[in-house]
Each structure stands twice: as C-alpha cells, then as structure tokens.
Amino acid sequence: MTNLAANPIAPDAFDLDAMLGDLRELVEIESPSLDVDAVTRSAEALAAMIERHLGGTTELVESPVGPHVHWKGGGTPKVLLLGHHDTVFPMGTLAERPFDVTDGVATGPGVFDMLGGIVQALHGLARLDDTSGVELLFSSDEEVGSHHSRELIEERATACGNVLVLEPSADGGTLKTGRKGCGTFEVIVRGRAAHAGLEPENGINALVEAAHQVLEINRFGDESVGTTVTPTVATAGTTDNVVPAEARIRVDVRVESADEKQRVEAAMAALSPAVSDASIEVLGAIGRPPMPESASATLFPLAQEVAPGIDGIAVGGGSDGNFTAAIGVPTLDGLGAVGGGAHADTEHVVVATMPERAALIANLVAAIQS
C-alpha cells in the first residue's frame, strides 16, 4: 500500500468478490427514506462496515429521519467524502428485485444510487496508508431534500476544504463537474364548490383557475440559460358533478445560476388568479442552489491527473454537492458507481468498473492529502 501519487493504486489491487459481498450486505438491508427503523439498521451496518475497513470509531448522528453516519480519520481534515445511505425504493422492493450479479451487471434496489459508490470508496480508502485527513459523511435524507443533514454537511465541508461526492457517475463513468439548482413548488388553488349541473355559476372553479396557472407557469422556463420550469402533477375536484373547490399543481424547477433562481422564485411568488374570487397559495423553493462548474476547477484537473482520459460534464440533477459548492468549498461530483437506471427498475452497476472507481477514489484522495 502507498499514499504517494508517484505510486498509484491500480484496479487489480482490489478484491472484486469482497466488494460485491459488501454491496450485497447494504442492498439487502433496504433503507427507504423516512423509514426510521430501516434507515437506522442501514446506518448501524454501514458504521460497522466502515470500521471494519478503516478502523477508528464511526459516529451515528441522530436526526428525526434516522442517523447520519460520520467517520473521521483523526488528523487535520483535508477532504470530505460525501454521500447518502437512504434509497428511494419502498420496503419490499428487495423481494421483487433481489440483489443479483449476472453477466457482469449487479442489480437490486439502491445498487447504483448510491450504495455502489459507498462500497467503492471504502475499499479505495482501505488501500491507503494515511487516511488521517479524510472524513466520511453519509446522510439519511438526501433523497427527500437533506433538510435534516444540510447544516452538518456544510459544517464538515467547510472544515475539510474539499468535497468528493460519491453519487453515481454520468454515462460511461464521466464525472459531474456542475449541477443545476433544483426545487419543487406546489401551487394550491382554492375556489368554491357548487352543483355542476344545477348552479355552476355559484361555484368558483379551481380546476379552470389551475389550467390558467399551468399555462402561465409553463412560460417561466428559459432554454437559452438552461432554466426548466415544468408542471408535473395536477390534482383537482372530488366528483364529476361538483364544481372543484381546490386544485394542486406540482412544479419541477432546474436552474444554472443564482440569478435564475431568484427570477423563477419571484415569478412563482407573483402568480395571481385569473378567475374572479379564486385564491392561490405558492409553497416551495429552489432548495438546492446551483453547483457551478467553477466549483470543480481545482479538483477535476487533479482527477484527470490520477485518471488520464476521464471526462466531466455538467448535469441537470441535484445532489448534496450543490450545498457544498454554494458555500464556496471545492466540490467534484459523480465519483460513485458506473451503471444506470437510477430510481428505476433498471438500476444497475457495471461490475468490472468497481475496482477502477475504487482506485480513482484512492488516488484522488492521496493527491489531495499530499
């Protein structure tokens, strides 16, 4: 083992069967967000796995949504490896789609997003002589907005000064050098119920008002600056012979700049009724600020030094790296598993890439610490 960039760790230094064994262990626990008992079991197993590979003591940081998992190397902190151990799949998914490895592809709930990235990082760090400047933080609520972990994430990112995010890679192993800011709004339209056949004129049709709002909201996007504003879910009414008294619209927003964040939030807040006597309430915000490509300006070239030929790309999805980049901490994302199908039944990891990604993490951490 070595910690010198002049003697990089090679992919053949890793035991792939052992990596797959650890991946199976984490996948088979199941850890859906907001299921505190399940997330607690996941945190305890992950803490034990960290200690088995890296030694030391892992702290479980309690929260209302289950424990965050935090490990420190013990020296002056230089780099935070950031991820999450909650997954999007409900309990019982494992019975329908058990962990499996067939034809070089690992499948199962959470393998790609992002349990594979956690396993690769642990095996990579275990090959280093010196991890004293390393911290690990795996939150329990990333998939539901990181409301109970954001403060801790920002605190440890500031203390460490560099952040490597273990979210899945882009296509083919490409790193993520930037991310859009993202958020969800809900527009609540309130009207007044009335009999749809006998006296519709006495009602205030919330569905008609919602239709006006959807058309207005759909105008807020601006492709020229990478802003998307997309009405995604709408509900209204109770039965087919009643004028709808309430309607709700969900809106997905993605922006590349702080200026666009402010513009879209202001436009959503300024929505006004088109139907007389209807009322509107707007909830939500762009909770994850943009991660500009400048955030990875120091770390991405370092990754290219230790892994020549690796590419980077800015993407639309958000992660906890958005938070660390927004407070000015150098951040590089997409260092996790190579595969695809995040949040879908097709979720998978290309098994042959796991040692390569473990080596990437090990050599990048060594370079940051040197």
Catalytic residues: 86, 142
Beta bridge partners of 350: 105
- Spatial distance between the Cα atoms of 162 and 94, rounded to a whole number of angstroms: 35
Supply 35's token pair.
């299921």
User: How far is residue 8 from each of residues 5, 32, 204, 363, measured CA to CA in Å?
Assistant: 5, 37, 69, 6
Supply 16's token pair.
């792939």
Cβ proximity of 225 and 257 under 8 Å: yes
Rg (CA), the chain: 23
- Those residues whose C-beta lies under 8 Å from the C-beta of residue 55, and which sit 6 or more positions away, are none
Q: For residue 204, with 0-12 CB atoms within 10 Å meaning exposed, 13-18 middle and 19 or more buried, which class applies?
A: buried
Beta bridge partners of 52: none
Encode burial over 228-267: b for 16+ CB neighbours within 10 A, e otherwise: bbebeebebbeeeeebbbbbbbbbebbbbbeebbebbbee
- Spatial distance between the Cα atoms of 162 and 82, rounded to a whole number of angstroms: 10
- The answer, yes or no, to whether the previous bond of 268 is cis (omega within 30 of 0) is no
φ/ψ (deg, to 5) at 13: -80, -5
- The residue among 299, 309, 342 whose CA lies nearest residue 177 is 299
- Spatial distance between the Cα atoms of 363 and 78, rounded to a whole number of angstroms: 14
